[in-house]
A and B are shown apart, each in its own frame.
Chain A
């Protein structure tokens, strides 16, 4: 059974009822001979290889530097559609930051009984080291990637919030770059909002959150786990675009609670670190002692107000899949507003009645591990075999606290260039929200597309591809 068996919303209205934002794309596709499209696709692949936009996938054998398949047919949104999303995203991220601040300060939302205490205080993502520490502009998740799906013309859901080290933004920028190189003509006619200024916005955001003890011009660096990390290309790309140093743990050291980098002319003080390294590996003195990727004493430098990390240590408390359920509550609690973006109705399997419901309807539901990411540890009921369901049921029964369940949404589709020609494929959207002195969102995001027919899994580690995402200027 595939999701295509149930009718789902095609964002283009392909092939017969073309929606207005796609009028140009429709005309373009009709005028473009298929062999031309195939030729352009090969050109795109060569471009990606040459730029070195590769993604390391953690599997045995094969080419360790893989390309994420890029689909040439853009995904298009009208300005009005985007405006609505943008307002919702701003609201959501503002509430997430307020929540993280609260969790590490007075815990008002817990005391008000709005969120169960054990969910926060017993959570591995809760970092007591952050308690009582005031951060610039009270921002914890400076770069948030909010995964959205669409099920109808006006129906959007937030699938999950990525508050730690969301990746993929380099594809947003490079996909556009490649599309503009391949089809300059199309852009002249389309009026697409640009995305290339993302790195400028990011650098401004990072500079706006310099720590209290930084007096002059802040020095910003990007901390990467190194060349073997799957997102290494992105780290290099962003550091390059921002014109800042790309550092590894061994390039940094903390002396008297001040963080420095080793340069050819001695030690240079670092004020803000955009770190693309998980909390666990960040500081062997505080977190995993065996980590060689981090910097000893970084946490103390943070606490002393000598360096600020983006995203902050402990920001992950807001993107736990069980905490996700409570984001609408956060919006009401901190902002006094009604949520503009909906959550997917989610069953918390730690509650006996919801567990019972989940077990009963498991073949219709998507069951996710609370702490999992990247599409691993997840069961898509309608697509799973009997055996898979049985094994998963056992896991679920053994540790119900570790799972949530959601209905299988009929994700929207966008026409996609596949072997058999053009066919609808399911997509999601990850816009990137920057929070510093103010909130900035580059119009667009990363559209991921499930290339296999009927598949709902868009993760690049599981055969997903990407598309250029167009927000029309008018």
Chain B
């Protein structure tokens, strides 16, 4: 297929996935700041910014991370290239340039999202409207994902879309988990305390894994097990290993007349997959979760570059 088309599909899927992630992040931050028992309610909003990977750009514009500034920045700000509204705009622009590669249902799903976006006026946001907006984002992104999964031919276009979605998801999951490293607890005694507990719980909520955790581990939320679930559990569709399972399968399925050129992308993906597939959480924690995740995010970036090079993007 046309290299530009593959590239647009890849990014279309990434932006839709990102919009979904941001909506989840904001929902949980809002929820957490509402149920928190202590007075310090700012840190949830700070951690949302960290988990979105945009601390620096945010700091350029806002002095403090609170509900208003974080929602404005992550959901509605046109200056933030990764805000939800810009994700939807960019996804739709990508869809428009490759309309011929989309099924009509897929175009309809993306285009309808873009049209309905106009119904939400950032200037008139209040808590109720925001909740409605975030629910809407999640339902629209599910719609797009579901539509492409159930209507696209299983050919290169589908594989590139899939790779985009799961590379983005892997990156998001890793960043989310890494938030725990950045967010300081009020004091050392709080480690393992109530605040700590709620923070781990919040991470599970963002990825919609509260119930999954209960099914797999039972009992109280333990940091090591949260990390295991998000990194290494094959059964969980947002875990790093699940994402890489999808990435390697779809990379391998791409029809390629020149296997030399795309060899590096495959090598990277497969070695990362093997590491996750046969990894153990205690070994990861020995290295240090933060160090592990930092290296992982870099490798995702590298893989994205190699895929682009390997397929002439």
Contacts and interface: CB of A to CB of B under 8 A. Distances in A.
Nearest to A267: B312
Interface string A35-52: 000000000000001101
Contacts of B1: 245, 263-264
Given A50-B108, A50-B111, A50-B112, A262 B3 contact: yes
B256 A236 contact: no
Size bracket of the B interface: 20 to 34
Contacts of A239: 100
A236 B102 CA distance: 11
Contacts of A244: 100
A261 B2 contact: yes
Nearest to A233: B99
A265 B255 contact: yes
Contacts of A237: 99
A139 to B, nearest CB: 25
Interface string B1-12: 111111000000
A420 B254 CA distance: 58
Interface stretch (A182-190, A246-254, A393-401): A246-254
Size bracket of the A interface: 20 to 34
B118 to A, nearest CB: 10
Question: Which has the most chain A C-beta neighbours within 10 Å: B1, B4, B312?
Answer: B4
B99 A247 contact: no
Nearest to A232: B96
A418 interface: no
Given A50-B108, A236-B99, A265 B2 contact: no
Given A49-B115, A52-B111, A264 B6 contact: yes
Contact of A265 (B98, B107, B111, B258): B258
Contacts of B96: 52, 227, 232, 236
A265 B256 contact: yes
Chain A interface, DSSP helix/strand/loop, else mixed = mixed
Contacts of B107: 52
Contacts of A265: 254-258, 311
B93 interface: yes
Contacts of B160: 264
Interface string B115-129: 100000000000000
Nearest to A264: B311
A240 interface: yes
B251 to A, nearest CB: 11
Given A247-B2, A250-B4, A264 B254 contact: yes
Contacts, number: 66
Interface string A250-275: 11000000000111111000000000
B97 interface: yes
Contact of A236 (B100, B111, B112): B100
Nearest to B96: A227
A108 B98 CA distance: 46
B156 interface: yes
Given A49-B115, A227-B93, A248-B4, A264 B156 contact: yes
Contact of B3 (A49, A52, A227, A263): A263
Contacts of B256: 264-265
Contact of B312 (A226, A227, A248, A262): A262
A243 to B, nearest CB: 8
Contacts of B4: 247-248, 250-251, 262
A245 to B, nearest CB: 5
A227 B100 CA distance: 13
A263 B5 CA distance: 9
Contacts of B93: 227
A124 B98 CA distance: 34
A263 B310 CA distance: 11
A264 B3 CA distance: 5
Question: Which has the most chain B C-beta neighbours within 10 Å: A49, A227, A248, A264?
Answer: A264
A264 B158 CA distance: 13
A177 B292 CA distance: 55
A264 B108 contact: no
B211 to A, nearest CB: 36
A251 B100 CA distance: 15
Contacts of A240: 99-100
Given A250-B4, A265-B256, 20 more contacts: A49-B115, A50-B108, A50-B112, A52-B96, A52-B107, A52-B111, A232-B96, A236-B100, A239-B100, A240-B99, A240-B100, A247-B4, A251-B4, A262-B2, A263-B1, A264-B6, A265-B254, A265-B255, A265-B257, A266-B312
8 contacts: A50-B111, A236-B96, A237-B99, A247-B4, A264-B160, A264-B254, A264-B311, A265-B311
Interface of B: 1-6, 93, 96-100, 107-108, 111-112, 115, 156, 160, 254-258, 261, 311-312
4 closest cross-chain pairs (CB), A and B: A236-B99, A264-B311, A265-B257, A240-B100
